[in-house]
Chain A
Amino acid sequence: MYEKDGEKYFVVDSHMHYWDASPANWIAGQENFAKGWIDCFHAYQSLGPAETHWSIEHFQKYSEDDLMKDVFEDGHVDVAIFQPTYLKSWYTEGFNTTEKNGALAERHPGKFIVNSRFEPRGGDAAMKEFEENVARWQPKGVKLYTAEWLGDSRGWTLKDPEAYRFLERAQELGIKNIHVHKGPTIWPLDKDAFDVSDVDHAATDFPDLNFIVEHVGLPRIEDFCFMATQEPNVYAGLSVVIGGLMHARPRFFAKVMGELLFWVGEDKMTFGSDYGIWEPKWQIEGFVDWDFPAGDEFTDYPRLGTAGKKKILGLNAARLYDIEVPAEYQLPAEAGTPAAKDDAKLVEDPVGAPA
């Protein structure tokens, strides 16, 4: 919970992690990849305020106590959603698995939602593992990192028949939310690995699933936005947008927010801190205080008011995940329905008059 100027915000951190990237967990022969991955994450942290930076040792492996303090005690978060990233090609026990997240969540009832994942290239064994994870942790969502390496494979897309098999099964098992994270390597390498058109296909073919595209498709925000206007069940995950731009590049951040508010709308955007890349505290406090800077270049973007910030920081994700929100945090009826699929005159008419 966060309170500012008499307004109370219910906060759902819809994209965060509990990882182990310490050298003890690096697979022999794969050290360069394991180190390269966590060094890259650590560089992202440098885009946040200096006083929130961690040493690389702390960043490689933070403790349960660190997480509980950073996210809940200091970080204003009411409910946090674990999003796993396995990377078992590089990390012996995996980088950030359902089991590791789930074990922590069980020690703190009511604080976490444990999402899982599936590996469409793994055949029946992967299906069995997925089904067991669903039975054990009862996730309402999965996180899919399409650029994950597996043997000689450099990734997969949501259009693959194998992926459809898992999406169908996920739906049967009660999964509602598909979080998609694009990365830099997908077979074949001559194509654009960040391309989000596969999400478009899957979102059309699975209209009852919600597709939350993390980091709003960065570095392909434009493709993501064009796609999101076509698909009522596609949402914008703000991980990296707030963490990577709000402090480091405030004017770019304002433009990106303006574009998202125009193309996607405040009912379709969800906050995610990407912890441990960035702590949620400064992101939430800064976002509640945020407004467009002065300047002609921002004047024709839709404005974001307190109700919109409440939706983005928690109410939209609460609706997607059926999280009960106490009455004092809810919006009056005239503020609209959080996470409403039909938020968007823009879906029908994406043409606004340019300034």
Chain B
Amino acid sequence: MTSTASVLAALDSVRDPELDQPVTSLGFVASCTVSEDGVADVHLRLPTYFCAPNFAFLMVADAYEAVSGVPGVRRAEIVLDDHFASEAINGGVAARAGFVESFGTLAESELDSLRRDFIRKAVLAGTDRVCRPLLSSGLTGDDLAALTLGEAPPSPDRERLRARRAELGLPSTDDSPLMVDPVTGEAVGVQAVPLHLRKARLTAVGAEANSGICRGMLRDRYATSGLGEETA
């Protein structure tokens, strides 16, 4: 029989696209059960009733894909609770309809472009997380411009940055530059390094602030912790 733990492990791969963090650690997984005949039933919850419906749709659709791929799961039922667009999102994902079909005239196209925009932000924020400690240890911007990804010290942040770059098709091997333009993938030149790092830090600070507010709102909305929630 498929375990709840294996479904939760699959949900660890599902991220909030805006915050670039797993829905599990954010506390968005309200419940998760697997029946004896292989039906996985997952309820997701968000910090507010009015959280942006496009990102909510992506999370529910990604959860559907991830849970459906768990060995032994015969059917995945993903339900977003307590959201103004719950009905459209839950129905659309269950019917394997895309975003446009689910939202009709309210949407013009699918969400791929939106998702890519936010992975680019994740690349910038991740660049800050990898580079900031190097700057603190005494390296200069010029030093960083000459480094490759493989020359940065191994860390979870480095691997997360590598993964996001790979998702966008940006250079992500050890011999690729440590800092690349998140749109073109070209190495950031020495002249452009200070501004690039400023933008990277600003993007990371923005993501931290958003995540702090979202976590606070979720805690006020629900008395219980989510499955796999990590307090930060």
Interface residues of A (CB under 8 A from B): 32-33, 36-37, 39-40, 42-44, 46-47, 152, 154, 183-185, 187-194, 218-222, 225-226, 244-245, 248-249, 252-253, 255-256, 258-259, 262-263, 296-297, 350-355
Cβ-defined partner of A259 (8 Å) among B49, B113, B202: B202
In the bound complex, do residue B52 and residue A352 qualify as a contact, i.e. CB atoms below 8 Å apart?
no
Given A190-B109, A219-B209, 10 more A-B residue pairs with CB atoms under 8 Å apart are A39-B49, A44-B217, A183-B50, A184-B51, A192-B52, A248-B212, A252-B208, A259-B201, A351-B195, A354-B197
Given A190-B114, A259-B205, A43 contacting B210 (CB threshold 8 A): no
Q: Does B186 contact A (CB under 8 A)?
A: no
In residues 41-89 of chain B, which contact A (Cβ within 8 Å)?
47-54, 84
The CA of A336 and the CA of B203, in the complex, are separated in Å by 30
Give the residues in chain A near B51, CB-CB below 8 Å: 184
Question: 9 closest Cβ contacts across the A-B interface?
Answer: A36-B49, A46-B220, A249-B212, A221-B206, A188-B108, A184-B52, A219-B210, A43-B220, A222-B206
Contact A218-B209, Cβ < 8 Å, known A187-B106, A225-B202, A355-B135 = yes
Which residues of chain B have C-beta atoms less than 8 A from A248's C-beta? 212-213, 216
- Kindly name the residue among B135, B201, B202 whose own CB sees the greatest number of chain A CB atoms within 10 A: B202
Selecting from B30-38, B97-105, B163-171, the interface stretch reads: B97-105
With contacts A190-B100, A353-B194 known, is A47 near B216, CB below 8 A? yes
Interchain residue pairs with CB less than 8 A apart (17): A37-B49, A40-B50, A40-B217, A43-B48, A43-B221, A152-B106, A185-B52, A189-B103, A189-B106, A194-B52, A219-B18, A221-B205, A222-B205, A252-B208, A263-B202, A351-B195, A353-B141
Query: Which residues of B have CB within 8 Å of A222?
Result: 121, 124, 199, 202-203, 205-206
B contact residues around A221 at 8 Å (CB): 202, 205-206, 209
Contact between chains at B209 and A252 (CB < 8 Å): yes
- Report Cα–Cα, A33/B230, bound state, in Å: 30
CA gap between A42 and B49 in the complex, in Å? 12
Given A32-B84, A259-B205: A193 in contact with B212 (beta carbons within 8 A): no
A36–B83 alpha-carbon span in the complex (Å):
9
Whether B135 contacts A354 by the Cβ 8 Å rule is yes
* A296 CB contact (under 8 Å) in B136, B195, B197: B136
Q: Which B residue's beta carbon lies closest to that of A225?
A: B202
Residues of A within 8 A of B195 (CB): 350-351
User: Do A190 and B50 contact each other (CB < 8 Å), given the known contacts A47-B213, A219-B206, A255-B209?
Assistant: no
Task: Please tell me the size bucket of the interface on B.
Answer: 35 or more
Given A189-B54, A351-B194: A46 in contact with B216 (beta carbons within 8 A): yes
Bound-state CA distance A255–B48 (Å) is 25
Q: How far is the CA of A203 from the CA of B199 in the complex (A)?
A: 22
- B28 vs chain A, min Cβ distance (A): 15
Within 8 A of A (CB), among B161-184: none
Do A43 and B53 touch across chains, with their CB atoms under 8 A apart? no
| Residue in A33, A184, A218 whose beta carbon sits within 8 Å of that of B210 in the complex | A218
Q: With A252-B212, A256-B209 given, is the CB distance from A36 to B84 under 8 Å?
A: yes
| Residue in B50, B99, B195 with the greatest tally of chain A CB atoms within 10 Å | B50
Whether A351 contacts B198 by the Cβ 8 Å rule is yes
With A152-B105, A252-B205, A355-B136 already in contact, the answer to whether A190 and B54 are too (CB < 8 A) is yes
Given the known interface contacts A184-B51, A189-B54, A350-B195, the answer about A218 and B111 at a Cβ–Cβ threshold of 8 Å is no
Task: Assess whether A190 is in contact with B107, with CB atoms less than 8 Å apart.
Answer: yes
Contacts of B84 in A (CB 8 A): 32-33, 36
**Interface flag for B151 (CB, 8 Å):** no
| Chain B residues with CB under 8 A of A256 | 205-206, 209
A153 to chain B, nearest CB (A): 9
Cβ-defined contact, B52 with A245, below 8 A: no
Report the separation of the CA atoms of residues A249 and B231 in the bound assembly, to the nearest whole angstrom. Answer: 13
Chain B residues whose CB sits within 8 angstroms of the CB of A353 once the complex forms: 141, 194
Across the two chains, which residue of chain B brings its CB closest to A224? B206
CB contacts (< 8 Å) of A225 on chain B: these are 202
Q: How far is the CA of A189 from the CA of B217 in the complex (A)?
A: 23
Q: Cβ of A37: which chain B residues have Cβ within 8 Å of it?
A: 49-50
In the complex, chain B residues whose CB is within 8 Å of the CB of A33: 84
